Amino acid sequence: MNTTGSGFFRSLFRRPLAAIAVVTTLVAGMLTIQLAVESPPQARAASSVGGSISRTEVIARAKYWYDRGDTWYSQDQSDAISDGTGGKYRPDCSGLIAMAWHLPKKSDGWDLNTDDFHSYSGKAWLSSLHDLQPGDAMLRDGHVELFEKWVDAGDHTRGSWVYSENDYGQKTNHNTDSWSEMNTYRGIRYDKIVNRTSGPDGADFNSDGVGDIFSAATGTLTIWNGKGSNNFAAADLIGGGWGPYSRPIAGDFDGDGISDLAAVADGKLHIWNGKGSNNFAAAIVTGPGWTPYAATLLSLGDVNKDGRDDIGAVSEGTFYVWNGKGDNKFGAADAIGPGWSIYSRPIGGDFDGDGIGDIAAVNAGELHIWNGKGSNNFAADVVTGPGWAPYAATLMTIGDIDSDGRTDIGAISDDMLYTWSGRGDNKFAAADVHGPGWAPYF
């Protein structure tokens, strides 16, 4: 147990006193929910200054500056701007990278400049621009930019999305660089960045940075690869023989940055390590004792802030967490708290954009979200609004399917797939409807 006393368990299920603005929308006869958008949401720190940091948090920190709308360029350290988590950084190109990577100040109190980054011992040069991953940076003499993602993961020559501070009279930019522009830079990587972008965000089996949907309910593992903009490729039938297994979950259980699968059969947890391109290695059997948790097994992302994906489940009303150790191993079960029998099967995701895994579940038609605080602890539930009863049984985390860097969720109702794009800070857009033909899979 990481918490003591009954007060924690009361707070875990307490409705927040502050009212949450909700807009209800009727889509195809189904009630959907859209929370009022407030910009910019307050940033949260999963990392510490100079410590390890996930790629998700690096991008979230850069986006926080962009969303502020007041990060006017300056090379003067006295003009430093808040990172939203208690620190302040100089709003020029190198200050943006220092802020996003959560770097400490130099001995003179200034943030690193571009010359410093050339010689900075806490970074590594990438051998190729093709090796860039979200949260890396591109450095040249006099300028540096933060790499967010490829415009087209299948064709890098179409360029990339970047965050940058460019010149006086401008604020933080979020724009695309052409491939020719990119080739004026060299890629660099922070030594303490955690090579995980989508652990809390669902599956990405083809490693293109877009969330995928998957199911084995028919006995055949089927994957729909996300194409961005809430669109999906045709179903890819991976293979049969899944009938004996529980509903599979996705996560990076071996720490290689590629989504894996896990499921229970005969009381044993099986893990299939992803190899990219919707391919998987043979199953690894981790051990017995998993039968009580099979029906509610879920991937949580990183809830203890060690950079590894964790899993959870509910048994006899108590929520349990197993912290991932990498190499397909997990720590002993940690009983987080009772009272979960009134909720639908929970799902995991990073719904507030702070890089720490959160939990979501439905009760009495309302969606509840418990934001992770690290060390397997969670804040009191945030209740987002009514209308979720039709989706409770099939609610799932689907990764980032619209390529905006936020966790999205989905569900099946009346043979249709509904997806809700995450807005960060526990908010979602109105439902996008896809289908029909989804009921046999979920």
What's the whole-model pTM score? 0.66
Phi and psi (nearest 5°) for 346? -70, 160
Tokens of 266: 């005969």
Check: CB of residue 21 under 8 Å from CB of residue 412.
no
Check: CB of residue 100 under 8 Å from CB of residue 163.
yes
Any long-range contacts for 327-336 (C-beta under 8 Å, 24+ apart)? 327/254, 327/255, 328/253, 328/254, 328/260, 328/271, 328/273, 328/284, 328/286, 329/286, 330/286, 334/1, 334/2, 334/376, 335/1, 336/2, 336/3, 336/312, 336/376, 336/378
H-state helical runs in 85-186: 93-100, 114-119, 179-182
Distance CA 248, CA 252 (A): 13
pLDDT in tens, the chain (442 residues): 333 332 333 233 322 223 333 333 333 333 333 333 334 444 445 578 998 887 878 888 999 999 999 999 999 999 999 999 899 999 999 999 999 999 999 999 999 999 999 999 999 999 999 999 889 999 999 999 999 988 887 789 999 999 999 999 999 999 999 999 999 999 999 999 875 544 446 898 987 778 999 999 999 999 999 988 899 999 999 999 999 999 999 998 987 778 999 999 999 999 999 988 899 999 999 989 999 999 999 999 989 877 789 999 999 999 999 999 888 999 999 999 999 999 999 999 999 888 789 999 999 999 999 999 989 999 999 999 899 999 999 999 999 898 777 899 999 999 999 999 998 889 999 999 998 999 999 9
